[in-house]
Structures are given as C-alpha cells and as structure tokens.
Chain A
Amino acid sequence: MKHLLSAGDLTHEDALRILDTAEELLGVAKRPIKKLPTLRGRTVVNLFFEDSTRTRISFEAAAKRLSADVINFSAKGSSASKGEGLKDTALTLQAMGADAVVVRHHHSGAPHRLAHAEWTKGAVINAGDGTHEHPTQALLDAFTMRRHLNDGVGDLAGKNITIVGDVLHSRVARSNALLLHTLGAHVTLVAPPTLLPVGVEHWPVETSYDLDASLEKADAVMMLRVQRERMNASFFPSAREYSRRYGLDTARMNRLPEHAIVMHPGPMNRGMEISADVADSGRSVIVEQVTNGVAVRMAVLYLLVGGSTEGDTE
C-alpha cells in the first residue's frame, strides 16, 4: 500500500494491521513523553485546500509524535482555487522532498489525482475529499467501535452499525460503509430518500427511511452532520422536521441496547441531528473519537512512510 485514498482500497488484513498498530500507539499518548523516533528525518506535509482545524491538528499531532518534520500548507483562498494550483503545489512539495502529503480538498478525487498524475512521489493520504471519502475518519471510527464492542481486538463481524443523516454529501458515510463492510459489520444507512445517493442499493449496506425501526438492534449509532443549507435546496422541508424524523434525542437513545454507543464525526449541530443531552451522555464516545484519531493517524503514517525503506533512496 503506497497511498491511502479510499477506505475501499484496504483489505481486511490491511485494516486490522492499522487498527492493531493504532492500539499499540495509543499507549504513547498516555506516557509523559509522547514521542517516538520512528519518522525522524521524514517530512509530512499537511496540504489543506479546505479549512478543517480538527483534522489538521490531529494529523499534525500524529506526525509530531512520530518525530516527523511537519509543514502545514493551507492553500485555501490562494490561487489554488483555479485548479492549476493543484499541480503546481504538488510539484513544489515534491521539490521540497515531502515523504507524505496529507491532503484535504473540497473537490472529490483531488487526492486520487495527486497520487496518480505523477506530480509527486510521496505517499498521499486522503484527509477528506469533497463528498467522496475520509478514510482515516472511518479507521478511527472502526477503532473506537472495536474498543467498545470487541475489547479492542479483531474485527467487527456481526456488529450492527447504523449511520444516520446526509449520506449523499457525506465522505464519512462512504468511507465507513466500505471499511465496516470489510471488517464484517452489518451497516444500515438511515436517511430521508433525498439524502441517499442514486445507486446506494449497490453499496454493501442496507438502507432505511425509518430511524426508529433501526435502533433496537444497533450496536453503534453514528449521527452525520446535516447542514442547514440543505433545507434551502429542498432536501427536507425544515430543520425541525428533519430533527423530529432523523434526530437522535434521549427518547430514541433509550431504545438502543444497553451496550450501544453513540458516535458523531463532528462538528455537531446540537439540536439538529443530535440533542445536547445525547451528545453529552454516557453513551456518547464523541470525545474519545478525537483521541483515537491521533493514534489511528499515527498508525497510518507509520505504515505508509515509516514501514518501508523504499523512500530512502531519493
């Protein structure tokens, strides 16, 4: 594996290797000195064409804990919006000797393009592209589920995972559906029909328009962020109606099995897809997801950049 572009590219073995490595690396965060020398002398570039402070600092912390040199390149608002920017930026990073490029882009496929257009030799890690994928988010979600539902070992075979919300525009949902399927979980996507993509019947998931019917057997419920702007494009009539039909409130949470966890990739719209009480409840593992994000990203960087010696001969 040279790049991480899609969660669908990961085999069962790849995914478990990342999760197991992350499990080991999670210990580092608990030490007084949170640092390993693994990527010393390597350069990791965070190339962000779209604002995302939480994802960027998560990758930055991960790279620094592995002793890599980190360059943050925020291309938003620069000439990069024109497109030619992607190629020139990549050539610049190549010239600076980037060993890995963590790329966040508002357009689907930009990391794929960066990895395959021969503009850069470094490993490309997709940190979220348009409405396509966000594979490290899926990995940290799977990691979090595994810790709660399977004692932090093995896969998620037979677990029922319900993902609720704006699947159509969600890179988190796409990556999760693919990875969770690879890990043996049974995924149900719940959304109003307007927010499910055409062709979703060919995904390795079940779909439902009815949240209540999907709660009783769920081992984990993941609520997706729903942007209020969608309302203006007639995806649903009003924020209140959305919240009534697809929001997770206490009454709905109480219908979940005892052991079930509540997840959200953040940032949350409290009162929209998730009530404040639920977000702050004991079932919620939302803050833990953030912690786990650093460990999972350390594992990805370690395996892509540190795991092989190929890059040593420039």
Chain B
Amino acid sequence: MTVIRQVRLLGEDVVDIAIEGGVITAVGTDLPTGDHDVVDGQGLIALPGLVDLHTHLREPGREDAETVRTGTMAAARGGFTCVHAMANTDPVADTAGVVEQVWRLGREAGYCDVQPVGAVTVGLAGEQLAELGAMADSAAGVRVFSDDGKCVSDAVLMRRALEYVKAFGGVIAQHAQEPRLTEGAQMNEGILSGELGLTGWPAAAEEAIVARDCVLAAHVGSRLHVCHLSTRGSVEIVRWAKSKGWDVTAEVTPHHLLLTDELVRSYDPIYKVNPPLRSADDVAAVREGLADGTIDIVATDHAPHPMEDKECEWNAAAFGMIGLETALSVVQQTMVDTGLLTWAQVADRMSTAPARIGRVADHGRPIAVGEPANVVLYDPAATRVVEPADTASLSRNTPYRGHELPGRVVATFLRGHATVLDGALTEGVPA
C-alpha cells in the first residue's frame, strides 16, 4: 500500500491519497500511513494519469527511432499511463495480428498501457478498408482508426469508414490534409513560405477536409475525431459543427500551442512537422479553442526520428517531433500559466476526454475511492532547460532544445505501481 501525503488534488485542495491493489482506497486528510510506502506530495499536484490519443511508437519497423518499450518509458516520464500507438508502422497496423503484437509489447514493457490505433485502409493506401472489425474484436480491442500520416482523402471511403465503425463504437481519427493542395509541401503557406522559397502547406488544405468530414459524420451519424488541428479556420469549423450537435472531437498538439512558423527561418528541420507550425494568429486560435472546449484534447503526435533524418537540408528531412516528455510542461506554459485553463480542465483535456474518445475504460477516471490508481504527481513550480539527450526516447528530435519549460513530473502510477518515482523511471510493471 502507498500513501501520497498532502498533495493538491487537481491543483486545488490538499489531500492524502491511499492506493492498494491497483485501486484508490482512500482520499482524505491525515490518512494513517502506518508502515506503508509514503510519497511526500507537498508542493505537488495530483492529476489522473495522462492519456495520449496520438503517439508514434515506430515498432514494428523503425526500431532505430523508437520501440514500444522506449516510447512508453518516455510516456511514463511525461506523466502518461495510456498511449494510443499510431498505425503507420512497417508493417502497417492494419490487421488483428499487428495490433495485438503492439498491444502485447506494451504489456510486456509495463510502463504505460498501449492502445493500438488501427489503420483505416489497407497499407494506409487509401484504397480499401482494412479489417476494422477484426481489429476491434482482437485482444487489443481497437476503437480508434486512423491512416495518420496520410489523409483518407477519398470521400466515399471516408464515408464508409465512418459508417462501418458505428457497429463497434469506433471513431475515425482523420489526418486532415487535402493531398493535391499539399503536393511537395514543406511549411505553412504564408508570407514566410514565399520569402523562404519553401512550398506552402495552405490552411485551406486542412480546413477543406475538416469541413467535409464534419458534414459526412453528421450525414451518417457517426463519430469523427480531427487529429492535430492547427489553423484558426479549423477551430471555427469544429466550433460550428459542435454547435449543430454533431459528434465531432478534435485535438491540438503541444507544439501547435507554443511554436510558430517563424522558427522555419532557421531552415533547421527540427521544426519540420506535419501539419506545419502555423502563424501566431493560429496559435492564439487553437489556445482559445482548447480553452472553450471546441478542441477537446491535447495529443502529443510524438514522432521520433533518427538524427540523420533531421541533420540535413529542410526538404530532405522527415516530418515530426517528439513530445511525450514535454507535453504537460508546454500545456502548463501555454494554457495554465496564462490563465486559460485550470488544472482540473487540464485533467479533462489530457486524461478524461482522450480516454472517452478512445473508449478506454480504465483511464481518465476521477481520483476517487474505488477508481483505478492511475495518477501523476507534478511539480508546477519546478523549471528546467530542455536538453535533448535527457530523454527515454531513442530519438532526440525535440524542438525545445534550450527552452526553459515549467514543471516536472515527479511520479507516475500505473494501476498503483510507480513507473516513475522521484522523477526517475522504475523497473516498470510488466504484465
């Protein structure tokens, strides 16, 4: 049994939390500690274990960039107890076999529950539906389907996918990128792309798909989730769809909450990501959207890449940045320290809501008696300067090198077992 002493629950009241057998057994003041393990929670806040709806773990296929084990270690260090592993592996997670393999690797590592995302189409090729039902019925129990990295651009295929997953409560998570409008695209299309001579990725290419998919989801009465929404126009479209009562949810990444396309001036591909970093006005819009609930969740889009795919010229570099270990800090800096969100709302945006969208039963639960003991302890008063080598990930492509970020994850509990304690990884809890 573990007792966490004098922690501020959701950043509010100071309480003690007792954990036993993977479950929260008591929440109150001055709980008896006896000879139990005691974790001093003074100065810390307690949040439900974070849930990431958008993680690239790269295994199988690119174990040089990340494995399920290293990715989930990074997740634990970031305060996550559940991550959704995207399907763009090699082979693609488009069969029950592959999703079960990824799910099992997560259990064996024991740092974080891994909920595989199934591909919408075979091989992410956008031509034929993958066996969505088989993945849903597999041990992995897939509920989120996405061709992320590629857009399901064919309108009929998207319609069918949205319809089909209704049979098992699934959701289509769309990477909204109109492919013809973004051929060869390298960065946000705007004043800067013209100046830098880099092919533009227009906001319209995202917004056109978001708008189409909202309308399609409404038409067939299904659930749509918009991945890594990045523009003011997309926020406005999702706001409109929600005002109609349509079942549309959306995510924003930490980097789109903080960074702008001005960074591309350096031509340093560490800032190359898809969707691209946008303008300061877009950043303001996604913050507003996250604050007012138009954007439901923060998802990391943690995208590890080996060094050689970033130490090159811009066009030759890979898209993506890692983000599991910095996500909560970036959300604190952009949303909490600015007064846009309370910690209770952060718990919603980073745990409760993503678990609900992903239909993950044991995560995103309140910190209350009888609930699974998935808890993160966080010190919001700490600060740190990001050092790329200080990561559990196999990759170091963080855009925050040298940035001072607030906060530090002190402990992460997965079903009552510490995966991180005193800021350091434990041995994990392999199944």
Contacts and interface: CB of A to CB of B under 8 A. Distances in A.
Interface of A: 81-87, 105, 107-110, 112-113, 116-117, 129-133, 168, 171, 174, 197-200, 202-203
Which 3 residue pairs spanning A and B have beta carbons closest together?
A: A83-B316, A132-B197, A197-B194
Contact of B189 (A105, A129, A198, A202): A198
6 contacts: A85-B312, A87-B312, A112-B267, A113-B267, A131-B197, A198-B190
A109 B191 contact: no
A87 B315 contact: no
Nearest to B318: A83
Contacts of B304: none
B195 A109 contact: no
Nearest to A105: B313
A108 B316 contact: no
A167 to B, nearest CB: 9
A174 B267 CA distance: 17
A64 B200 CA distance: 40
Given A132-B196, A133-B197, A200-B194, A107 B314 contact: yes
A133 B267 CA distance: 14
Contacts of B317: 83
A117 B316 CA distance: 15
Interface of B: 186, 189-200, 202, 266-268, 308-309, 311-317
A129 B194 contact: no
B314 A109 contact: yes
B314 A113 contact: yes
Given A112-B267, A199-B190, 6 more contacts: A83-B316, A107-B314, A108-B198, A108-B267, A109-B198, A130-B197
A198 B313 contact: no
Contacts of A116: 266-268
B200 A198 contact: yes
B311 A117 contact: yes
Q: Which of B190, B267, B308, B316 has the most CB of A within 10 A?
A: B267
Nearest to B186: A108
A171 B198 CA distance: 11
Given A112-B267, A198-B189, A199-B191, A86 B197 contact: no
Contacts of A110: 267, 313-314
Nearest to A200: B194
Contacts of A197: 193-194
Contacts of B197: 108-109, 129-133, 171, 174
Contact of A83 (B199, B267, B308): B308
A130 B197 CA distance: 7
Contacts of B196: 108-109, 132
B314 A108 contact: yes
Given A83-B317, A116-B266, A198 B312 contact: no
B313 A109 contact: yes
Contacts of B308: 83-84
A175 to B, nearest CB: 10
Contacts of A199: 190-195
Contacts of A200: 194
Nearest to A82: B316
B316 A107 contact: yes
A171 to B, nearest CB: 6
A188 to B, nearest CB: 17
A107 B194 contact: no
A108 B313 CA distance: 8
A200 B194 CA distance: 7
Contacts of B314: 107-110, 113
B281 to A, nearest CB: 14
A113 B194 CA distance: 18
B221 to A, nearest CB: 38
Given A113-B267, A116-B266, A83 B312 contact: yes
A202 B191 contact: yes
A81 B316 CA distance: 8
A147 to B, nearest CB: 29
Contacts of B194: 168, 197-200, 203
Nearest to B183: A233
B261 to A, nearest CB: 11
Contacts of A86: 312-313, 316
A130 B309 CA distance: 19
A110 B194 CA distance: 16
